[in-house]
Amino acid sequence: MSFILRTKLSLMMFLQFMLVAAFWVQLSSYLDKMEIKGLMFSLIMSTMAIGSIFSPLMGMFADRIASAEKVLFVLNVAVAIFLGAAYVTTEPTLIFIWLVLAMCAYMPTWGLTATIAMANSTPEAFPYIRVFGSLGWVCAAVFALAAKWMFDVVIDGTAIPLACGAGVAAVAAVFALFLPVTPPKSKGEPMSIAEALGLKAFVMLKDKNIAIFMVSVVVWTVAFTIYWMYASFLATLNIENITPTLNVGQISELLFMVLVPVSIKFLGFKKTMGLGIFAMLLRYLLSAYAPEINGLYWGAIAVHGIIFGFFFVVAQMYIDIKAPADIKAQAQGLFFFFYGIAQILGTFFSTWLIETNTVTLSVESVTAEVDAVKQVATAVDWKTIFLVESGISAALLVAFMLFFKDDVKSSQ
């Protein structure tokens, strides 16, 4: 692989993941500031998951109709438009509608960029290209830091990150035009209704190990999803500049991503993904006691690199190796389909878990007229929440190590 090709693929990942990091990390705190609660909060936080469900359909386009880089261009243009629309509205229902449309266009790009990268390189080289996506996530903090330094404005909890995401999407769309041509491998072949809907990859579930793998992805995602609400947890610890703080996790992702091929070589796919699950268990245990032990949240954030790199990215590599050549884009779409379903379940589960562990407090205060006034406040029992998530992670780790078989080799 030439230096120019590697650079193009790396920049593709950089822009594509900076795009979502620019606004998604702090979205929950923005909704909190807008006082959007309950069902609408869950629906908005589920938009990424809803978008994932459309990944197999977009994968079908890349497998059968148009070159993957052209599909990527069109999708990024749509993302820029819809995020821009979400930025200019304050109506919760419209924010939901625009973000649903934006994420239906955006989430398939995760599978498409993986398909483009692996089609023009090798599975072994993929982590070294994908690591630039982590770098893009880290560099998304530049928007928050620059606003603070140049204008003394804190953009966390505002709509400004939505505008930042729209801008990056526009740049990513233009850059897609310069990516290597990745033509559809099944163009012109007879197509069934299932194939037209991007559902052909579902036949892979006949493989018992693939089915166990997908169930594991679903459970992992349900447990992982509360991470998207981690900004709300950090706010209760009085942490300022939440986005840069969370970027410690992406910095660790940069470090651990380059270790993925090494881990696969010496441990194999199963044990590498097992380490990712164990790291998630560790995160939630550290988070549970973070309010009691000062600074413990840094460890919970720092293990993000192992969680995401060793499980999520390795899972993408595994599904690419297992997929037949003519449905590789759809196979990535299948992976993100289950990821999306699980994110919807996880978002509603996380919201329910938070609401059921929120207590109402009655606090007496004194007004300027020295009259005692009762005020109502709420407090979230984050310790119980994270201990529940720890239990789910522990159960997944045991089941995964018992039932999933390491049936591929990194040399394939």
Domains of the chain: 3-186+197-357+381-403 (1.20.1250.20)
pLDDT at 412: 41
370: pLDDT strictly greater than 70: no
Query: With 0-12 CB in 10 A as exposed, 13-18 as middle and 19+ as buried, what is 116?
Result: buried
Query: What is the maximal distance between C-alpha atoms in the chain?
Result: 81
- Could you give the C-alpha distances from 340 to 49, 86, 279, in angstroms and in order? 4, 21, 22
277-303 pLDDT, tens digit per residue, is 999 999 999 999 998 888 889 999 999
Question: What values do phi and psi take at 278, rounded to 5?
Answer: -60, -40
DSSP state of 364: E
Measuring CA to CA, which residue among 288, 311, 283 is closest to residue 383?
288
Spatial separation of the C-alpha atoms in residues 313 and 127, rounded to whole Å = 7
Residue carrying the six token digits 């625009």: 98
CA angle, residues 228, 230, 236, in degrees to nearest 5: 150
186 — pLDDT class (breaks 50, 70, 90): low
**The pair of three-digit structure tokens given for residue 246, joined into one six-digit string:** 């969370």
Query: Which residues are 379's β-sheet partners?
Result: 359
> Helix or strand or coil: residue 87?
helix
To the nearest 10°, report the CA torsion of 295, 296, 297, 299.
110
**Average pLDDT of span 49-59:** 76
Q: What is the DSSP string of 5-48?
A: HHHHHHHHHHHHHHHHHHHHTTHHHHHHHTT--HHHHHHHHTHH
CA angle, residues 143, 152, 244, in degrees to nearest 5: 40
pLDDT at 194: 57
Question: What values do phi and psi take at 157, rounded to 5?
Answer: 85, 10
* Rg of the Cα atoms in the chain: 21
DSSP state of 159: S
Measuring CA to CA, which residue among 132, 117, 118, 141 is closest to residue 254?
132
**Average pLDDT of span 234-245:** 78
199: pLDDT strictly greater than 90: no
User: Which residue type sits at 28?
Assistant: S
List strand residue ranges (DSSP E) for 14-151, in order: none
Measuring CA to CA, which residue among 191, 382, 214 is closest to residue 300?
382
384-399 pLDDT, tens digit per residue, is 999 999 999 999 999 9
